[in-house]
Amino acid sequence: MGKFRELIVYKKGFSLLMEIYLLTNDFPKTEQYSLVDQIRRSSRICL
Protein backbone atom coordinates (compact mmCIF):
# COMPACT_ATOMS: atom_id res chain seq x y z
CA MET A 1 0.00 0.00 0.00
CA GLY A 2 1.27 3.44 -0.88
CA LYS A 3 1.13 6.72 0.90
CA PHE A 4 -2.25 8.09 1.96
CA ARG A 5 -1.77 11.22 -0.17
CA GLU A 6 -1.84 9.04 -3.26
CA LEU A 7 -5.33 7.71 -2.50
CA ILE A 8 -8.16 8.95 -4.69
CA VAL A 9 -10.36 9.66 -1.69
CA TYR A 10 -7.66 11.86 -0.14
CA LYS A 11 -7.16 13.79 -3.39
CA LYS A 12 -10.91 14.40 -3.77
CA GLY A 13 -11.25 15.45 -0.13
CA PHE A 14 -8.33 17.85 -0.41
CA SER A 15 -9.74 19.28 -3.63
CA LEU A 16 -13.08 19.90 -1.90
CA LEU A 17 -11.30 21.54 1.04
CA MET A 18 -9.51 23.95 -1.30
CA GLU A 19 -12.78 24.76 -3.06
CA ILE A 20 -14.40 25.57 0.29
CA TYR A 21 -11.53 27.92 1.14
CA LEU A 22 -11.87 29.71 -2.20
CA LEU A 23 -15.64 30.06 -1.86
CA THR A 24 -15.44 31.42 1.68
CA ASN A 25 -12.98 34.12 0.59
CA ASP A 26 -15.89 35.86 -1.12
CA PHE A 27 -18.00 36.04 2.05
CA PRO A 28 -18.56 39.52 3.54
CA LYS A 29 -15.99 40.72 6.06
CA THR A 30 -18.60 40.70 8.82
CA GLU A 31 -18.85 36.93 8.45
CA GLN A 32 -15.12 36.25 8.27
CA TYR A 33 -14.68 35.54 11.97
CA SER A 34 -17.83 33.57 12.70
CA LEU A 35 -19.46 31.74 9.83
CA VAL A 36 -16.33 31.39 7.66
CA ASP A 37 -14.27 30.11 10.58
CA GLN A 38 -16.93 27.55 11.44
CA ILE A 39 -17.22 26.34 7.83
CA ARG A 40 -13.46 26.02 7.44
CA ARG A 41 -13.02 24.17 10.73
CA SER A 42 -15.76 21.70 9.87
CA SER A 43 -14.22 21.00 6.47
CA ARG A 44 -10.82 20.15 8.00
CA ILE A 45 -12.32 17.48 10.27
CA CYS A 46 -12.87 15.26 7.24
CA LEU A 47 -9.18 15.09 6.39
Average pLDDT rounded to a whole number, residues 41-45? 79
Mean pLDDT, the chain, rounded, equals 83
Give the CA distances from residue 31 to residues 6, 14, 20, 40, 44, in Å, rounded to whole numbers and listed in that order. Answer: 35, 24, 15, 12, 19
Q: What are the pLDDT digits (tens) for 13-27?
A: 899 989 988 988 888
Structural domain of residue 39, as residue ranges?
4-45
Instruction: Among 15-24, 26-35, 36-45, name the most confident range.
Output: 15-24
What is the number of domains present in the chain? Answer: 1
Q: What is the pTM of this model?
A: 0.67
Specify the pLDDT at position 1. 54
pLDDT of the residue at 15: 93
* Rounded Cα distance, 18 and 40, in Å: 10
